[in-house]
Structure 1
Amino acid sequence: MRPGRRKKIKKTEKTYKFLTRMKGKMLFVFFIIIAVLIALVGRLAYIQLKSGDRYARIILNQQEYSSKTIPFRRGDIVDRKGTVLATSTDVYNVILDCSVLTSREQYLEPTIAAMVQCFGVDETELRAYVSENPKKRYYKVMDKLPYEEIAQFEDLQNDEKNGKNIKGVWFEKEYIREHPYDTLASTLLGFTTSGNVGIGGLEDYYNETLNGVDGKEYGYVNDDSNYEIKVKEAADGNTLVSTIDANLQSITENKIAEFNNAMKDGQNEGAKNIGVIMMDPNTGEVLAMATNRTYSLQNPWNLDTLRYLSADESTKAIHQAERIELKKYYDTDTIDAMTEEAWNAALSEHYTEDQLSNIRNTAQLNQVWNNFCISSTYEPGSTAKPFTVATGLDSGTLTGNETYYCDGGETISGHHISCIKRAGHGVETIQQSLENSCNDALMQMSYAIGPANFSRYQHIFNFGLKTNIDLPGEARTDSLIYPEDQLSTINLATNSFGQSYNVTMVQMITGYCSLINGGKYYQPHMVSKITDANGNTVQNIEPTLIKETISEETSATIRQYLQGVIVNGSGKKAKVDGYSMGGKTGTAQKLPRSARKYLVSFIGSVPADNPQVAIYVVVDEANSEDQAHSYYAQSIAREILKEALPYLGIYPDEELTGVNEGVGITGEGIQVEQTPESMDSEVPTEAPQSAEGEPSGQ
């Protein structure tokens, strides 16, 4: 073999051996890398299994993450024609995120300058706050601004040239309750406090219906460093379509105010309480409900409204509120034994002066917010007489052909109960006894009716029972009427003309509607429909017929009698010229009888034979030395109906006669022809007591 070839072979062998060694080393390194990777994967798997959640939270906390609540919009309350009575308006809170503002030096000056320019904030205070709280994420600079007041700032933020360094400011949306007519229907609507909690009226009763569900917006930086937003939209509350008519409500409140202003003096309002209810007798729908105690729905905590309260009412309200607070710390016997000094010392031990002031003010304001039409009870007086007559006719204990001799009163168990005409009315038919409001004749009817029938029909007319109107605070009267076994002859006699038992206004007008509409007792209600935020109907609330109280025949007879009261009897001053009417007056002497305080009333309906609207007016303790005249209530009813009837499309059905021309809202111009329909005689004053132990007439 040639030397050159041998040399070449040796060189090739060396190269092969070198490559072989290198390959072995590379394989070794490769296996080491594989082993390390396997170890790393195993370690990662171990960490994920054992501590994955903990590390995930750490990573998420290091990411930019934000969330905010999207508030729901509380539903509106509108009248029967769609007029908005209560609504929710969006407003904005100005929120400063100091951590963003201080994250870069170039953000501070333009942002503060923009806030001073747009919102007029104090620059020195703002700088001081940012300096002291550089990591603060949420600072409310201003609250409840309308959109118009934040629009300028948003324009600056969105300006690509001048707004790129305005950072750390955002706007938190919320809603505030607005009442376009402020005081209109205040006791009916109620108001809301923080957290969308309804206080009183429809706001309270339908709180859950009006409220919706908050939404949520989540913002975060994902694993790819992209900012993502996820939104769960808020579910807005539903809207209430009420049965009331804003125009009728306004007419009613204006006439009450007119009476009040004419009757009040420097110390007293025109009356302690005035209440009016207008109702559709064929459906139970409340068209208007008002009292003399109106308040601002925009500012219900205004203490100026305490002018409505007498000194006695204020004292009683404060005492009851303080007693409730003391019961949290002391038993009843201890509280009852406290002197005035001990009482005040006990309160001071547990409450600051500011807390006590708030408790006392709230207690008094509750009396103003109270709806007299449903929450107060009283003796109805002679407006109860049509119910007594209807009881006799429908039960068959009266035929309608009876006559009674009124000699000025009845003597029962040694007590003389007078008629309103001390000399007596003489012989009277049933209709005449209603026209003249004769107590003597009604007492004689009660003997024929008897305790069993009288008690049974009281419950048929729903006296002693709640009407379950859709408003909070309806008073219970079950303990304020006599059960059958306690209807002695004297109790039956006084009950027959509306004394010694208690009712509420809503009980009276609802029962009265059944007297005049053919005997149908409809549940009174305030809401006819519920719609969602888009206007779609969620629920139609149809009239609810609860029961039949009397026959159509009895109802027709009662309508005839009630028309006679307006044409020939005590209800002449309620007459609206050109319209046939039915109705009944009432004057109740309150307990204690010796105080000679009176509650007067009128309940009526138009047209007389086919009633389309019913009205009930109560004037409790008119500011007059001569309280005991039902013409106060009649005048208010007449003036309301004069405007309401044409508006309702109820046309005159009689010729104009000029009746009641020159008679004013307070009854001026009236020639009083008879003594008041009051109890002023030797009659026992024991009557059912209210739950608080107060006399039932109070």
Structure 2
Amino acid sequence: MMKQKNTINNTRRSFVVIGIITFMFFVLFFRLGYLMIVKKSFLVAKAESQTSYQQTIAPKRGSILDTNGDLLATSGDVYKVSLDLEEVHNYALIKGGKDTERIKETLDDISSNFAQILGKDKDEVRKFLEQTNKEGAYLRGIPLARKVEKDKIDKIKKLRDSKKYNFVLIENDTNRYYPNNNFLAQVLGGVDLDGKGVFGLEQYYNKDLTGVPGISITEVDRKSQKLPYSDQVFTQAINGKDLTTTIDSRIQYVAEKIAEKAMVDKKPKSVRIIVTNPKTGEILAMVNKPDFNPNEPNKGVTDSKQFAQITRNGVVSDAFEPGSTFKIVTMSAALEEGKTFRDDQFFDPGYAIVDGHRIDCWKHDGHGAENLVDLLKNSCNPGFIELGRRVGKEKMNEYISKFGFGKTTGIDFPGETTGIVKSTEKVSNMDLATISFGQTDAASMVQLIGAINAILNNGVYTTPHFLKNLSEVDANGNRKIVSTYEEKNSRQVISQKTANTMAGFLEETVSKGSGKLAYLDGYGVAGKTGTAEKANIGGKGYDPKNVVASFIGGAPYNDPKISLLIAIDSPEGVEHMGGEVAAPLAHDLFQQIFNAIGFDPSKK
């Protein structure tokens, strides 16, 4: 009986043991299945991250060139040095063991070595090594230095190898360089620390200039040292495309010097110039003064507001009431609609009455009897009020739109303003009168140059633009053009007959009228001056002493090579009108441009 009881107990004990073993087997089986199936991707990735080293290979940013291939912006090969701070402290622990003083000495030694090579303060580097995240863990792979030259990188590599610094990460970096300093500053723009375009052409064409990063993945040991004979995954970086612009450095240089002289002589708030080819819309020069050095964009800048102001390309981004330069649109509309003709007769008593309100001409005693051309030559406000009345607000706004006002031109540049055009239903008789001679509506310099280009180009509109082409260099060093500029906004704004008539009128305005100080014998300069009074603060009325003096024109008028617009904001002195201030600058600019490009109208 006793023996039978012991046998039963042994059998039960065996079942319990077998049950426990079976249970543990199933637990291990399901755990293994969970790790092999459910967690496979995670564990594989973790294992690879611990046994491989991945490095991004930064592409070289494309260069920006002028139309003749001269360098305007380029990138030099520099490097970024980053440290894995967790590994820095692991290294110190291994070196120092449990001796806290030796650990401290090791960290001090690391700081001193990097500070000496990089020209940094030792204490700053030591402080850098102690950076942690919110959980208190040391940061990994953070930059210690950017834009490091190759000679210093060679020293760091030598230090890394000799000291077995497995925590050092060296990556390609780029340093943007503008060889001509302030030259074309607001147009070229700039990049941030990561080489990304943040304003100007650098921003607009950032995607093309940037390129595609490459990648290098190498197997490493537990000390992050590269394993011999290991396979390497390598994808070559694709460098950015080179941007060839329409800018002609010879013309840009001349325009820069003219603007600099005006800043000294007239002490205005700003001087802005744009020069184009009226037949194609190609921008040959663009100047904003005051300017800055894009190699040191923050030099002398105290805050972000000042930075935004000094780097702003006002030729594209700012709108102002254009004044008398806008009269070219009013007269073009009146001619095209058959509301006037060359020998049409007018009389200016010195003012016009609109809905009971008196609007004075700039010449208070009036111009007396005039024909149509005289209105333009004399820049007679009452005469243009009459032309505007004949055209009517609906047709006037129709031509304003055709000429490109009230909307973006499509220029390849960020931050373009649409200007201000009052909607037809809100235009009163008084508004129509002031719009006709260049007040109420506001326009950018790009819009205005587009308008006169249409007149000089047989009535056909061309978009002002910077792009000539984008190109790349292949593996054999051969340059290949991958895309060129395509005109998308071309349209017939006015007939060729009206355009050619207007071009002739504008030539007479310079040779015999208010633009005579821009006259250049034998070159057929056509143009119109403007003196736009700026609105008083608060928007009530205008300040006759606070003006934008301007000149817009082209030459030769019957076969134009260039067109230009000069705007001088708030010039000091008694002489402040466009015919007094801007026209003489236009004369010098035309003359020096034609000398620079070797154009002589007497030689066919």
Q: Mark yes or no: TM-score above 0.5.
A: yes
Change (3 A) 1:111 1:362: closer
Instruction: State how far apart, in whole Å, the 1-side matches of 2:127 and 2:395 are.
Output: 81
Q: Is the 8 A contact 1:273 1:372 kept in 2?
A: no
2:258 corresponds, among 255, 258, 283, to: 255
8 Å CA contact 1:76, 1:210 repeated in 2: yes
Q: Find the partner of 1:300 among 297, 302, 316.
A: 297
Q: 2:248 aligns with which of 238, 242, 245?
A: 245
CA distance in structure 1 between the aligned counterparts of 2:28 and 2:228, rounded to whole angstroms: 22
Q: Tell me the secondary structure at the aligned position of residue 180 of structure 2.
A: coil
Q: Which of 376, 382, 385 is the matching residue for 1:443?
A: 385
- Structure 2 residue runs without a partner (length 5+): 1-25, 97-105, 133-137
Contact 1:215 1:234 in 2 (8 A): yes
Amino acid at match of 1:570: S
Q: Is the 8 A contact 1:272 1:620 kept in 2?
A: yes
Equivalent residue number for residue 582 of structure 1 = 526
1:544 to 1:129, Cα distance in 2 relative to 1, 3 A: closer
After TM superposition, the structure 1 stretch with the greater mean CA deviation from structure 2, 289-298 or 629-638, is: 629-638
Spell out the pairing of 1:521-536 with structure 2 (5 A cutoff). 521-534=461-474, 535-536=479-480
Residue 173 of structure 2: SS of its match in structure 1?
A: strand
How does 1:485-496 map onto structure 2 within 5 Å? 485-496=425-436
Matches within 5 A, 1:550-589: 550-589=494-533
1:462 is aligned, of 404, 409, 413, to 404
* Equivalent residues of 1:303, 1:365 under 8 A apart: no
Out of 410, 424, 446, the position equivalent to 1:484 is 424
CA distance in structure 2 between the partners assigned to 1:451 and 1:531 by the alignment:
47
**Alpha-carbon distance in 1 for matches of 2:598, 2:316:** 28
Does residue 73 in structure 1 map to residue 60 in structure 2? yes
Identical positions, percent: 28
Aligned pairs for 1:162-241 (under 5 A) are 168=166, 171-221=170-220, 226-241=229-244
- Contact (CA 8 Å) 1:111, 1:166: kept in 2 or not? no
Tell me how far apart the structure 2 counterparts of residues 475 and 113 of structure 1 sit (CA, whole Å): 53
Contact 1:469 1:523 survives alignment (8 Å): yes
Partner of 1:555, secondary structure, is: helix
Give matches, 1:93-492, under 5 Å: 93-95=80-82, 98=88, 119=118, 138=141, 140-151=143-154, 168=166, 171-221=170-220, 226-263=229-266, 270-304=267-301, 361-477=303-419, 480-492=420-432
Distance in structure 1 (CA, Å) of the matches to 2:261 and 2:51: 63
Matched position secondary structure for 1:595 = strand
Structure (1 or 2) with the larger CA radius of gyration:
1
Matched letter for residue 584 of structure 2: S
Once the two structures are TM-superposed, the CA of residue 568 in structure 1 deviates from its matched residue by 0.6
Q: Whole-Å Cα distance in 2 between the matches of residues 588 and 131 of structure 1?
A: 61
The letter for the 1-side match of 2:557 is: A
Q: Is residue 575–residue 581 contact of structure 2 (8 Å, CA) maintained in 1?
A: no
SS at 2:287 equivalent? strand
CA distance in 2, matches of 1:573, 1:148: 58
Deviation of the 1:450 alpha carbon: 2.6
Q: What secondary structure, in the 3-state scheme, does the structure 1 residue paired with 2:588 have?
A: helix
Q: Which amino acid aligns with 2:490?
A: I
SS at match of 1:590: strand
In 2, distance between residues paired with 1:513 and 1:58?
61
Q: CA deviation at 1:164?
A: 6.0
Q: Which position in structure 2 is the counterpart of 1:515?
A: 455
Residues 195-237 of structure 1, C-alpha deviation per residue, up to 9 Å, x if partnerless? 3332221122222222223222111159997433221222322
The residue aligned with 1:598 is: 547
Larger mean CA deviation between 184-193 and 512-521 belongs to: 184-193
Would the aligned equivalents of 2:316 and 2:445 in 1 still touch at CA under 8 Å?
A: yes
Counterpart residue type for residue 571 of structure 1: G
Distance 1:649 1:542, change over 3 A: farther
Matched residue type, 1:531: S
Q: Compute the displacement of 1:594 (Å).
A: 5.0
- CA-to-partner distance for each residue in 1:466-506, whole Å, 9 max, x for gaps? 212111111123xx323334444333222221122211111
Note the aligned Cα RMSD (angstroms). Answer: 3.5
Which amino acid is 1:646 matched to?
N
The answer to whether the 8 A contact 1:110-1:165 is kept is: no
Conservation of the 8 A alpha-carbon contact between 1:603 and 1:616: yes
Alpha-carbon contact 1:101-1:167 (below 8 Å) kept:
no
Q: Distance in 1 between matches of 2:355 and 2:382?
A: 15
Deviations along 1:18-50, one digit per CA (max 9) or x if unpaired, are xxxxxxxxxxxxxxxxxxxxxxxx999998755
Amino acid at match of 1:546: S
Inter-partner Cα distance in structure 1 for 2:49 and 2:346: 95
The structure-2 alpha-carbon separation of the partners of 1:428 and 1:179, relative to structure 1 and needing over 3 Å to count, comes to same
Q: Is the 8 A contact 2:361 2:382 kept in 1?
A: yes
Gaps of 5+ in 1: 1-41, 264-269, 307-360, 655-698
Q: So what's the TM-score if we normalise by structure 1?
A: 0.70
385 and 46 in structure 1: CA distance in 2 versus 1, 3 angstrom threshold: closer
Amino acid at match of 1:51: L
- 1:516 maps to amino acid: L
For 1:65, the aligned partner's letter is S
Is 1:622 paired with 2:571? yes
Give distance in 2, aligned partners of 1:488 and 1:382: 20
Displacement of 1:635: 2.4
Q: Distance in 2 between matches of 1:131 and 1:437?
A: 72
